[in-house]
Every structure is written in structure tokens, then in C-alpha cells.
Structure 1
Amino acid sequence: MINLCLVVIATQFSETKKREMERMRLERARFQSTSTLASSTNNSEPTTCYAEIVKYVAHLWRRSKRRFLKKVRLLRYRREQRREQKMIAGETIRLNFNRRHHPCCPRLKQVVRNLRNLI
């Protein structure tokens, strides 16, 4: 009689456990998000606080890097647009030979000599 009771209790426990595990799995699948920071590659195991902080810092780094590169591209584009507008308007770009070469550069000396000969 006792053995029969134990068998019944064990089967009821295993069925209940199966139902609960299935319900938990469905809930995890429903609340799992693939587009947010909260999602990770392995959601079945909880991660440590340190790992979450490292992931968040990495996320912030990638985000700020993208924003910075976007601003750099925008600034370069605006500068190029201003140069093109100056060229269209007929403004000439003045060349400063002293800044294009190092003071000891032989080419600079040659350019200066040529300019002096022209004058």
C-alpha cells in the first residue's frame, strides 16, 4: 500500500514538474527580446553583475563610437561643401608655400628661388 502511494506521488510530481517547466519555457520565449540590451546569447543562465556592467560599457562604447564617426563624416562633408562653394564663387585658394614644406626642405628653397627670379 505504501509503495503504491509513493508511486502515485512520484508520477504526480513528475507531471507537475513537466507542466511547470513547459510553462516557464514558454514565458521565457515570450519575454525574450532580440533587439534590446537585455537580450543576450544565453538567457537560460543568469549572469553576474560584473558581466552585465562590462556588457553595458561595451554597448555605450559602440554607441558613442558610431555617433562620433557620424559627426566626423558630417563635419568633413560640410567642409568639402564650403570649399566647393568657394570654388564656384570664384574665390581662389591661396597656397602658402612656407607651410607646405619643412623649412629645411630643398624643394622649399627651390620654390623660393624661383619666386625671387620671377620678381
Structure 2
Amino acid sequence: MGVDTEEHSPATFLDTQLLTKTERARQHDEQFARFVDIMKKLYIDVPFVDVIQVPTYAKYIKDMMQNKKSLVSEEVVKVTKELTAAINDVALEKKPDPGSPSIKCMIGTRIFDR
């Protein structure tokens, strides 16, 4: 009556159903690449009222309106001599290597200079 009488051999079934890890990973990567392509083409136009209902955005907008957050920040930065030289493209004075320091040490009555 409408019953499928075809028989599948176990080898054919296993070959089609069980894929190797690399084959599954390749198929997964292809699907992900297609998904990313679709997401790149997606453009959503969201009304402002809907945006301010999201708590994170609402807090950011509220702080910005109350001048707690400014879009342009002005800070005073302490500039070192090396940074000033780098900005002005000036070479700093090179000094000779002072060598390794030597510390005098005394153990009992013996004095070690090096």
C-alpha cells in the first residue's frame, strides 16, 4: 500500500549518516559563512523610543543628557621629556654606559670591593 520496501545496506547507511569530523567542521564553517554574509546585509531601523527602553542604552543616554558623560573629553596629561622629544622629532642626548655598579661589602673584618 504505500510502504517503502527498499532495503538499505548497512554500509550505505553508515556512509551517508556518519560524517568525519573534518567534513562536519567544513559544513559547519560553510553554514556559518553564509550566516555571516546574511547578517552583514541585514539593516535594522529602530525607533528612538525602542532604543531607550533597553536599560544599558537608556542609562547611557540619561547620563549624556545630564552632562555626566561628555562626548569629547578634555584631560590634562603629564608629558615626559622622552615623549616630548618623540613628538617634536628631536633626538635626545646620548650618554655613555655607566657600567655595572659595585657595592662594597664587609663580612666580619674582611672588605670586598667587587
Q: TM-score, normalised by structure 2?
A: 0.27
Q: With CA pairs under 8 Å and 6+ residues apart, which has the higher RCO, 1 or 2?
A: 1
Structure showing the higher helix proportion among its residues:
1
Question: Could you say which structure has the higher strand fraction?
Answer: 2
Q: Normalized against structure 1, the TM-score is what?
A: 0.26
